[in-house]
Structure 1
Amino acid sequence: MAATRVLTAHVPNDLADRVDLLAARIERSREWIMRQALAAWLDREDERHALTLEALADVEAGRLVDHRAILSWADSLSSETPLPPPSA
C-alpha cells in the first residue's frame, strides 16, 4: 500500500452533509469520496495549467485571431450562412 498522510480541512456544514449523503447513497466512505474529489480537482487544475501554457506559447509565437474576426464569426452563427471559424 502506498504511503499516506492525513490532510485536514474545515468545510461548511452543508458541504459535509452532502458528502455524508453521497457516501451513504453509493456505499462508500467519506474518505473515499474526498480522495476521489481531490484527485479529480487536481487533474482538472493540471489540465488547466497545461492549456494555459499552451495558449501562452501560441501568443508568444504570434498565433492569434483578431478579436473583430471572432465577433464577426459569432454574429454569423445565427444567420442562414454562418462563416467558417477564424483561424490563426
Structure 2
Amino acid sequence: MATDTKVLTAHVPLGLADKVDAMAARLERSRGWVMKQALAAWVDLEEERHRMTLEALADVDAGRVIDHRAIQAWADSLGTDRPLPPPVQ
C-alpha cells in the first residue's frame, strides 16, 4: 500500500543529531524512523495542549473559574498542620 509522504528538512544542533543517531543504532531503526516517532509525539502533545487551552478558555468564558486568592490560600496551606480544603467554584 503506497502512502503519500513529504520530505521535511531541518538543521539541528550536532549534539541532538548525535543523540538521534545513537538512539537509531540502539533501537536498530533508521534515523528517519526515529525522527518520525519524535515528530509524531511532539505534534500529538501540541495538539493536546491546544485542545486543553481551548477547553480552559471556554471555562473562563462560561464563568467556571475559582478566585486566585482562594487558590493561593489553599496552596499556601498545604504544607501546614491545618491544610484548607480545595476551593470550589
Give the TM-score normalised by structure 1. Answer: 0.94
**Is 78-87 or 25-34 further displaced after alignment?**
78-87
Unaligned residue ranges in structure 2 (runs of 5+): none
Alignment of 1:22-33 (within 5 A): 22-33=23-34
Q: 1:52: how far off? A: 0.4
Q: Distance between the aligned counterparts of 2:31 and 2:17, measured in 1?
A: 9
Q: 1:87: how far off? A: 2.0
Query: Is 1:17 the equivalent of 2:18?
Result: yes
- The alignment of Structure 1 onto Structure 2 pairs a total of residues equal to 88
Q: Distance between the aligned counterparts of 1:18 and 1:11, measured in 2?
A: 11
Q: Distance between the aligned counterparts of 1:41 and 1:87, measured in 2?
A: 33
Unaligned residue ranges in structure 1 (runs of 5+): none
User: For 1:25-76, what per-residue CA distance to the aligned partner results, in whole angstroms no more than 9, with x for missing partners?
Assistant: 1111100000000000000000000000000001101111111101110011
Give the TM-score normalised by structure 2. Answer: 0.93
